[in-house]
Chains A and B, each alone.
Chain A
């Protein structure tokens, strides 16, 4: 019961002593329906697509989720009232407790399935968004934790919030009686503390699910591929680039001087001297800029189509000029086969269009 004193301001009377309790009562009443609605909408987006609810209901499902999360705190942490949960709320929360292991098992199974196939496999095959199941799991765990905290009657959190009613009040753990007046400062302090604890809980819970997700995916891959060699592991990370660079490394001596493309699209990888050097060291690398500014001739040229996308197809392919060559080795990334062709290199030859390989520069006789 709130006490209104003559000195209380109009704003305090309207908001704190009238509107706020009214909103809390409404919250307690609609909370179970809000929970069911949140579950239903999250499930709907899990089997359709993200943004489906917003498109047809003009409200984001995450906004409804947020309101429910805040509503849960309003239901379970209203001090001064022994039980705030209605029988409907109790029923919903009991069902929620049963659903947690179901969501957890279902979610982890889908994560495992995705990890053993390819990204987006689950959605493209079963039309289920695993990420949304993670949100459902997070939501159900959150409700369970909030309910558990209430049941434990955590005096520490209540002490922190010190929400006592206005009037003579006995503080927990103290034998003294004292007047408790909720000043605007105290109310603001309570709200800030509540928001901090709420955000911290959300942050921790959400991140835990994400980290477990990441850990599970990476460990599943490792368990399935325990015997991969160094080369196979690097190939997993660098794909064709690693195959190509290994081909160059195997076909050039350690004292080779290799010309590489400029470090612009589409050769942001092959033209990056510090990246290429990691695989080809101690071979010397000369970038396109160095080739133009200094008068020296490398032993080899990379023959590189370019891995990075460009808008103009004509930009692919390097070198762009004729090179007097002993031979050119062509590398097929799909079959890993190599083909050696004797003679000079002409970028306009059909064979060089979109090609990958290595050019051995003809040594000039003195």
Chain B
């Protein structure tokens, strides 16, 4: 039984690995495995959702067949695009005995963090409020009934968020496991691995390890690895999407753009209310207008993101959930005056300062200082600074608009801080590439 369960997990990762391998030639094995886990689980759960809409029930055998088909298709594409040879890429050989004391120490601490999180999620059942009321409850009903509609017919609240985590839970139950909590530790481990690989790729091993360690030791990130919420998965998908987008900007590698599109698109499959998916599109649009990127790339980027976003959007709107969740039914443009706009601007500013900036604290300061440092530079890190700045504007602008739609908008303070978890990894990556860029410039003299 354990063998079957492990096999299923490996197959999901294998599917993702093959997909990433098709798109990116020059990346190391562990990066492909780590990113493949997210691409694999995201696309696999989305496909199960689509199949369920047309009558294919959630079951162990159906999920196995779907995985099989996905892997076979990926293998065929790999063979046609890469040939019979498996793509050998330099694996970052980490010889523990040859590393310095600090690196050894950080590596051991990382392993301790991973083990601690894994012990926690293997021991405890799903017990957090949101997981019990929504994510795991849906997963249990999906696994029990084989379909989604029994859950939605019980309570329309179950339509509030996309189904990535719930279908993942359902799949874990269907393959015979009793507790899907360990998935969140896997998210954490694969995230740190992918992040390390990406930072390592633009700096060096020591810097990559230090920055990855700082991310892994972030209390918010660590605690979210021990909670069955969608905030960390969302932060992972979106931040990795941003990092691969940066790779595309610096290396003009379409494969990186494709991975970025997939990950950003899948972030909307985890949480759909956040509008951050528009960021990379806007940046790429600007680059196309200033003739620094191809129009075809922009169109492909938009197409992939929308293909992944639209299924849930259509389903959600077709079930007309908005009103039942307390959204204001009035036209938001009616009754607006300059005074109301200015008053609300101040209220939102104060609200975001208390619930967003204070919560980010040092990360916010570091990101602003880094943006100032990158300002006016002619090198690639300045684009990353623009991405971070744009995300801050979206937080502000989004909250501002939201305040006119939902009457009790100020009650979601904790959600704002959890939603902005992705600022931690993208800020740390930004600092790494910026300081590395400055260091290289000085060293050249």
Residues on A facing B (Cβ under 8 Å): 156, 159-160, 162, 171, 173-174, 176, 178, 189, 192-193, 195-197, 199-200, 202-204, 207-208, 210-212, 214-215, 218-219, 222, 230, 233-234, 237-238, 272-275, 277-278, 281
| Contacts A199-B362, A203-B214, A212-B112 known; 5 new A-B pairs at CB < 8 A | A196-B369, A200-B431, A211-B217, A215-B112, A222-B123
Instruction: Give the Cβ gap from B31 to chain A, nearest Cβ, in Å.
Output: 23
- The answer, among B133, B222, B428, for a CB contact under 8 Å with A274, is B133
| Chain B, Cβ-Cβ closest to A272 | B133
CB neighbours of A199 from chain B (8 A)? 362, 365-366, 369
Contacts A199-B366, A208-B217, A210-B219; is A162 near B155 (CB within 8 Å)?
A: no
- What are 27 A-to-B residue pairs whose CB atoms are below 8 Å? A160-B435, A162-B442, A189-B373, A196-B369, A196-B373, A199-B362, A200-B431, A203-B218, A203-B366, A204-B210, A211-B219, A211-B222, A212-B109, A214-B223, A215-B113, A215-B222, A219-B119, A219-B120, A222-B120, A233-B125, A233-B127, A238-B127, A274-B137, A274-B157, A275-B132, A278-B132, A278-B133
CB neighbours of B112 from chain A (8 A)? 212, 215
How distant is the Cα of A265 from the Cα of B365 in the complex, in angstroms? 39
CB neighbours of A204 from chain B (8 A)? 210, 213-214, 217
How distant is the Cα of A159 from the Cα of B358 in the complex, in angstroms? 33
- How many B residues face the partner with a CB closer than 8 A? 48
Task: State whether B370 touches A196 (Cβ < 8 A).
Answer: yes
How distant is the Cα of A238 from the Cα of B124 in the complex, in angstroms? 13
- The answer, among A189, A210, A222, A273, for a CB contact under 8 Å with B155, is A273
How distant is the Cα of A210 from the Cα of B373 in the complex, in angstroms? 30
B378 within 8 A of A: no
Interface residues of B in 192-226 (CB under 8 A from A): 210, 213-214, 217-219, 222-223, 226
B306 within 8 A of A: no
B116 within 8 A of A: yes
Task: State whether A274 touches B134 (Cβ < 8 A).
Answer: yes
Task: State whether A277 touches B373 (Cβ < 8 A).
Answer: no
Residues on B facing A (Cβ under 8 Å): 109, 112-113, 116-117, 119-120, 123-125, 127, 129, 132-134, 136-137, 140-141, 154-155, 157-158, 210, 213-214, 217-219, 222-223, 226, 362-363, 365-366, 369-370, 372-373, 428, 431, 435, 438-439, 442-443, 445
CB neighbours of B370 from chain A (8 A)? 196
How distant is the Cα of A211 from the Cα of B112 in the complex, in angstroms? 10
Contacts A171-B445, A193-B373, A202-B362; is A275 near B129 (CB within 8 Å)?
A: yes
| Chain B, Cβ-Cβ closest to A279 | B132
CB neighbours of A192 from chain B (8 A)? 369, 372-373
CB neighbours of A208 from chain B (8 A)? 109, 217
Task: State whether B116 touches A237 (Cβ < 8 A).
Answer: no
CB neighbours of B363 from chain A (8 A)? 203
How distant is the Cα of A233 from the Cα of B126 in the complex, in angstroms? 10
Instruction: Give the Cβ gap from B104 to chain A, nearest Cβ, in Å.
Output: 15
Task: State whether A281 touches B217 (Cβ < 8 A).
Answer: no
CB neighbours of A203 from chain B (8 A)? 214, 218, 362-363, 366
